[in-house]
Amino acid sequence: MKPFRSEIRNSPRRPTIKIFLADESLDNRIKKHLEHFKEVELIEIRESMGQNRANENITVFLKDNIDINKMKQSIDSSLWWYFEQDMIDE
């Protein structure tokens, strides 16, 4: 199983990136890891609604005029690096 999956959500107010972790106990650690991106305005841990397989998700709100597709790629790359380092350290 993959350690995470991410999706772009186009909400009426502003597009967001939702991150669903396989291990929800890491939500706060991943949130802190993502706070280093200067393009991020706000990060929230939210209860998932609908048919998601996860009970919670990390919702990333970007600053205005940021390319959401590029940011998703950057976040995904950073998370893959994070999980690879975590597995090496074990």
Walk me through the domains of the chain, giving residue ranges and CATH numbers: 4-89 (3.30.1360.10)
Of the candidates 40, 51, 48, the residue with the CA atom closest to the CA atom of residue 19: 48
Which ranges in 24-90 belong to alpha helices (H)? Answer: 27-34, 68-89
**pLDDT in the model for residue 49:** 74
Q: Name the DSSP class of 1.
A: -
Spatial distance between the Cα atoms of 26 and 22, rounded to a whole number of angstroms: 9
**pLDDT in the model for residue 8:** 96
Q: Name the DSSP class of 26.
A: G
Tell me the pLDDT of the chain (90 aa) as tens digits: 799 999 999 877 888 999 999 999 999 999 999 999 999 999 999 988 766 567 899 999 999 999 999 999 999 999 999 998 865 555
